[in-house]
Amino acid sequence: MTFLGINLFGLFGQLLVGLINGSFYALLSLGLAIIFGLLKIINFAQGAMYMLGAFFAWMALSYFGMNYWVALVVVPLVVGFIGILMERFLVRPIAHEDHLYSLLLTFGVALMLQGIFTHVYGSSGLAYAIPEELKGGTRLPFMYLPNYRAWIIVASLVVCGLTWWLVEKTKLGAYLRAGTENPQLMQAFGINVPLIVTLTFGFGVALAGFAGVMAAPVYSVSPEMGSNLLIVVFAIVVIGGMGSIGGAILTGLAMGVIEGLTKYLYPEASTTVIFLVMVIVLLLKPSGLFGKEA
Amino acid sequence: MKLSKLHIALLLVALVAPFVLYPVFLAKILCFALFACAFNLLLGYVGLLSFGHAAFLGTGGYITGWLMMNANLTPELAILLGTAAAGLLGALYGKLAVKREGIYFAMVTLALAQLIFFVYLQAPFTGGEDGMQGIPRGELFGLIDLSDNLTMYYFVLAVFLFGFWLINRTIHSPFGQVLKAIRENEPRAVSLGYNVNDYKWVAFMISAALAGLAGATKSLVFQLASLTDVHWHMSGEVVLMTLVGGVGTVFGPLLGAGAIVTMQNYLSGGELGNYIHIIMGAIFVICVLAFRGGLVGELQKLVKRNFG
Amino acid sequence: MNRFTKTLAAVAVAAATSTAAVANVSDDKIKIGVLADMGGVYSDLCGPGCVTALEMAAEDFGGEVLGAPIEIVSADDQLKADVGSAIVRKWVEDEQVDAVGGLVSSAVTGAATKVLTDAKKIAMISTAASNAFTTASCSPYNVHWTYNVAALANGTVKPMVDSGKKKWFFITADYAFGHALESVATEVIENNGGEVVGVVRAPLATTDFSSYVLQAQASGADVVALANAGADTVNSLKAATEFGLTEMVDVAGLLVFTPAAQAMDPDTAAGMRLTTGFYWDYDDETRAWSNRFKERHGSIPAMGHAGAYSMAMHYFRAVEAAGTDDSDAVMAKMRELKPDDFFARNAYLRADGRMVHDMYYAEIKPADQRRDNDDILNVLSVIPGDQAFAPMLPECNFAD
C-alpha cells in the first residue's frame, strides 16, 4: 500500500513509534509544567531525575531483588522524596531571588548527579531487562508491536490523564491553581501554601522518576540519558507554552509523532526537527501554542 | 573609560605573566575571559541569561579555522570573518530569542544552540567528532609569524584588550544606559518610548560577535576547532565563570574565567580529574546559595562594609 | 595519590641504586604521560585503567630502563581536544615527557599527535579508532597499537559475507566516525560479492532506534550492521531485539568494546558478531595478565588496556635496545624488534606506525552459557593481522 511513493504501512509503524517517544516527552514536560505553574521556575535537574529513576530501578533489582512492578511504584516515590528535599533545602532559600538563580541552582544539581553516577557506575551504561510479563509482542497489520512499547503508551497516557484530572477537576487541584494565581490570598485563607509548593515540586519530580523507570528496559541506563532528552523537552515546553497541563501533554505527544515522521522521511534531520518547529512557533506565536501571554 | 591604577597594574601583570607561566595556558584564560565578558554583557547589563552562547564561540572558531585552512587568508582577516559569522548567527538567534523573557529566553537560547550543535556535528566541513585539526596560525598582516607561543600570547592579549574595551565602551554609552534601564525596569523603559526588543537584539548581536571573536582567537591558539566549543556544557561553563567572578561586574568574568580554567587545568592533571563535573556542579550550587555576587561582588561588599 | 605510590616506591629504589647520571637518557628519566578521558563517556575504555596498565608495565620492566627510572604521569583530557593538546604541549615543552600513551577519542588524539610530532615525541595510541593516524594524518612518531576501524570492519564483515550473508543494511551514526565505519565495511562487502540494500543515518545520541529498526526490517537484508559505538550500539541493539529483528536477521557490531558488551542485557546481545583486538579469557596467557589487572583495577581489561600495557613494554624494550630515549632511534628499534606477548601475537610494527597483530572474531554469549558477568564472548576465529589491517600507504612509509 503506497501513497505518493510513501509506504503507508511503514508510515503507520513510524507514527506509532513516534507516539511512544512522545509519551516520554509528555511525562517530562508535564512534570516541568506542574513545577513551573506553582513556583515559576524551570527545574533543570528534571533530566537528572529521569536518570535517577532509571538507575534506582536498576539498583532496586540488583541490590534488593525488587522487580519492575514494585520499582514502578517505589522508585517514583523515592525520586519524589529527593525532589522534596531539594525544594526544602536548596530551592526555597532562594525562592525570593530572581528565578534565573533557581535555574542555575538546578543546573548545578544536574551536573553533580550526572557526575556522581558517572563516577560510581561508569559511562557505558547498565542493562535492565524487560519484565517477563511484557516480553514478546503483537503482530499488527503494519508492524510488529512489542508488548512493552504498547505498555509505555498505555501507562503514560493513564498517568498523564490522572494528573490532568487531579489538577483540573479536584479540590486539591483547585488549591493548586489558586496558589498559582495568588499565593498571598491563599495563605490568608489558611491554606498551607509552602506545603503545597513542596508537594507539587515532589510530584513533578516523581513524574520524571516514573518516566525513568519506564525507560530503563528500552533505553540504555546511563548517566547521560537525561541531559540530551531534557534539551529537547525544553524546546517542547517553548513550543507548547506553559499555559495548561493538557497543553504540555498534547505538545509532548505531537512532537514525538513529528519526530517519528522525520525519522522515516529524512532521518538526518530527526534530532533538529523539534528545534526547527520551535523556531517556527516563535516566529508565529511567541507565547507558544497553549501559552498565555505573560 | 578612564585608566585607573588597577587597570595599569593588571596590564603590567598581563605583560609580564608569560615569562612566569605557560603562555598557551595564559592565552586560553584570555580567550575564555573574553567569552565570559561577552556573555556578561547580556546577563549582567541586560538581565538576559543566554544558555546557548557556545553556539557563537564555536561558530567563530569553525569559520576562522576553515578560512585559515582553505582560503589562504591572513589570521586577522580570518578572525574578522569568523567574528562576523558569529555576529550574523547572533542576529538571527537574537531576533528569535528576544521574543521571550527570563527562563523562556534561557530555554530558547539553549535549544537554538543545540540545533547548531547538531548542524556542526553532521556538516562535512567541521570534521564531525574529530573536529578541525592542525589549523595554521599564519602570519599576522602577512608579517608577524604567530607560530611562536609568546608572540601568539601578545596577539591574544591585544585581541582581548580590544574586546574588553569595546564592552566597557558599550556599557558606558547612552545605549548601555538604556540596557541597564531595561534590566532594572522593563515596563518603564517601554513606557519611556524605547523599543526594548531592538535594544536587546543589538546587545545580543554584540555579545554573540564578541563570543565569536573569542572562539576565533581560541581556534588559532590551539590550532583546532571542535564540537566541545559548541556543546551545551560549554554554555554552562561560561555561565559558571561569570557567576563565580561576579555577574554584572567589570572584572568579574575575567577573574571567574581565570579561576575556572586554572581549576580545570589543575584537576585534569591530578587524582581528582574524574570529579570535575561533580565539583563544577557543587560550585554552581554554592555560588547560587551563598555567593550570588561572585568573587568581585563579595569583595566589593566587603570593602564597602569596612571602608565605605 | 595511592595509585602512584607503588610506582614511586619502585622509582625511588631504582634512583637510589643508580645515582650516577644515566648516559643518553634525557633528564635521566623515562617519563610517560597517559592522556585519556578519565571521567566521561569513554572512561571505561581506557581512562584510569590505562594508567593502571602502564604502571603495571613500568613495574614489570623493573621500574627502570638503562638505569633511568620510569615515571608515569597522567591527565584527564575531559574529551576536549584543546584541553588535551594543551596538556601534551606542557608535557613535552615543560616536563620532559618522552612519550604519551592512552589517547582515546579521535579528536583529542588528532590534536595530541600533531603536538607530539612537532616535538618529535612518540604517540602511543592505544584506544583511538580512526585509521587516519596511519593514513591521512600519518606521522613517523605515531604508533597505533590495538586496532583500527578498518580492522574491525574487515574482521566482522568478511566472514559473514563469505558464509552467504550477502544483503546488508547499515544503521550508521551520522558523523565522521560512523561514516568511516560504514564506508570501510561497504568496501569489504562489495569486494566479496555482497551488496548494501539500505542505509539509515541516525544522528548521534539518538535514544530511540525503533524507527530505524523498522526500516531495517522492511529492507529484506540478511545482516544489519551497527556502524556506531557505545550507548548508540546498546540502544540500537535493544530496539532490534524488542522489535523481533534479531530473530529474523543477524546483527553485526562494527565497534563493540567489552565494557559495552557487558552493559548489554545478555538476552538482547546474544549472538551478535564482532571483532576485537583482545579478549581477556582467550587463553592462559591472557587470563594470567587480565586477572592481575582485575585485581588492581576492579574490572576485566578492555582491549585498550591490554594494548597500552603491551605497547609500553615494547617501548621500554626498544629504549633499552637503542641505548637512548631519542625518539628516532627508539622508533627504529620498535619497528625492528618484534613485539610478542599475551596481547601481540604474530605481530610486527609496520613502517607507517601500524602495529599488525592477530585480531579475534567473536560472538556475544547467551546468558545460559555464561559462568559470570565477565564471561561475555565466544572467540570464533583468529584473523591474521595482514588480513585484518589495510595495507600500508606508500606515502606513510617512514622506514629509513
- Per-residue pLDDT tens digits for C134-155: 988 899 999 999 999 889 888 8
pLDDT tens digits for range A110-146: 999 998 998 888 776 787 888 888 888 888 777 788 8
Q: How confident is the model at residue A175 (pLDDT cuts 50, 70, 90)?
A: confident
Q: Which of residues 199-218 of A touch C (CB under 8 A)?
A: 218
Q: Find chains touching chain C: ≥3 CB pairs under 8 Å.
A: A, B
CA distance, residue B269 to nearest chain C CA (Å):
4
Say yes or no to pLDDT of A205 above 80: yes
Task: Establish if A272 belongs to a structural domain.
Answer: no
Q: Given this model, what pLDDT does residue C350 score?
A: 92
> Which residues in chain C are contacts of A21 at CB distance < 8 A?
208
For chain A, give the number of residues.
294
- Structural domain spans, chain C: 2-147+282-357, 150-276+359-388
Task: Establish if A100 belongs to a structural domain.
Answer: yes
Strands (E), B166-222: none
Provide the grid cell at C271.
Answer: 549472538
Q: Find chains touching chain B: ≥3 CB pairs under 8 Å.
A: A, C
Cα torsion A86, A87, A88, A94: sign? positive
Task: Establish if A137 belongs to a structural domain.
Answer: yes
> Which residues in chain A are contacts of C244 at CB distance < 8 A?
137, 144, 146
pLDDT tens digits for range A271-293: 889 999 988 988 888 888 887 65
The DSSP code for A88 is I
> Which residues in chain C are contacts of B130 at CB distance < 8 A?
106-107, 110, 130, 132, 176-177
> Are B288 and A104 inside 8 Å of each other by CB?
yes
Q: Which of A2, A114, A124, A140 to mutate to test the interface with C (most CBs of C within 10 A)?
A: A124
Distance CA C308, CA C127 (A): 8
CA distance, residue C389 to nearest chain B CA (Å):
21
Q: Which of A113, A237, A238 to mutate to test the interface with B (most CBs of B within 10 A)?
A: A238
With CA atoms as reference, the chain C residue closest to A263 would be C211
Instruction: Assign 3-state DSSP to chain B and report helix, strand, coil percentages, each to 5.
Output: 80, 5, 20
ipTM of the complex: 0.87
Global pTM reads 0.83
Q: Tell how strand C142-144 and strand C195-202 pair up.
A: unpaired
The DSSP code for A268 is G
Residues 6 or more apart in contact with residue A130 via CB below 8 angstroms:
A148, A217, A218, C242
Q: Given this model, what pLDDT does residue B241 score?
A: 93
Provide the grid cell at C284.
Answer: 592462559
CA distance, residue C99 to nearest chain B CA (Å):
16
User: Residue C164 — left, alpha, or beta (φ > 0 → left; ψ -120 to 50 → alpha)?
Assistant: left
Angle, in degrees to the nearest 10, between helices A46-64 and A193-215: 60
- Compute the count of residue pairs across chains A and C with CB atoms less than 8 Å apart: 111
Helix (H) or strand (E) holding C366: none
Q: How confident is the model at residue A153 (pLDDT cuts 50, 70, 90)?
A: very high
Provide the grid cell at C75.
Answer: 591527565
Q: Given this model, what pLDDT does residue B164 score?
A: 93
Task: Establish if A7 belongs to a structural domain.
Answer: no
Collapsed DSSP state (helix, strand, coil) of residue A112: helix
Q: Given this model, what pLDDT does residue A49 score?
A: 95
Q: Given this model, what pLDDT does residue B139 score?
A: 81
> Which residues in chain C are contacts of A128 at CB distance < 8 A?
265
> Which residues in chain A are contacts of B292 at CB distance < 8 A?
97, 101
Q: What total number of domains does chain A contain? A: 1
When CB atoms are compared, the residue of B112, B282, B289 closest to A275 is B112
Architecture of domain C150-276+359-388: 3-Layer(aba) Sandwich (3.40)
Cα torsion C184, C189, C195, C197: sign? negative
> Which residues in chain C are contacts of A144 at CB distance < 8 A?
217, 243-244
Task: Establish if A249 belongs to a structural domain.
Answer: no
pLDDT tens digits for range C24-62: 777 788 999 999 988 777 788 888 999 999 999 999 999
Say yes or no to pLDDT of C120 above 80: yes
Distance CA A257, CA A19 (A): 5
Q: How confident is the model at residue C13 (pLDDT cuts 50, 70, 90)?
A: very low
Helix (H) or strand (E) holding C72: strand C68-76
Q: Given this model, what pLDDT does residue A2 score?
A: 54
pLDDT tens digits for range A212-247: 999 998 887 888 888 888 888 988 988 988 767 888
Distance CA C56, CA C73 (A): 13
Structural domain including A116 reads 20-226
B282 touches chain C (CB under 8 A): no
Kindly state which CATH superfamily the domain C2-147+282-357 is placed in: Response regulator (3.40.50.2300)
- Please report, for chain C, how many H helices and E strands are present, in that order: 15, 15
Nearest in space to C381 (alpha carbons), one of C150, C156, C149:
C156
Average pLDDT for A150-177: 88
DSSP notation for B151-165 = HHHHHHHHHHHHHHH
Q: Given this model, what pLDDT does residue A130 score?
A: 86
> Are C263 and A146 inside 8 Å of each other by CB?
no
Q: Given this model, what pLDDT does residue A184 score?
A: 78
> Considering only A34-38, C159-163, C318-322, which range has the smallest mean pLDDT?
A34-38
Task: Establish if A97 belongs to a structural domain.
Answer: yes
Average pLDDT for C9-38: 67
DSSP notation for A134-187 = G-SEEE-SS-EEEHHHHHHHHHHHHHHHHHHHHHHHSHHHHHHHHHHH-HHHHH
When CB atoms are compared, the residue of A104, A112, A268 closest to B239 is A104
Q: Given this model, what pLDDT does residue C400 score?
A: 67
HSE-up (13 A, CA, CB side) for residue C286: 18
Task: Show the low-confidence residues of chain B (pLDDT under 50).
Answer: 1
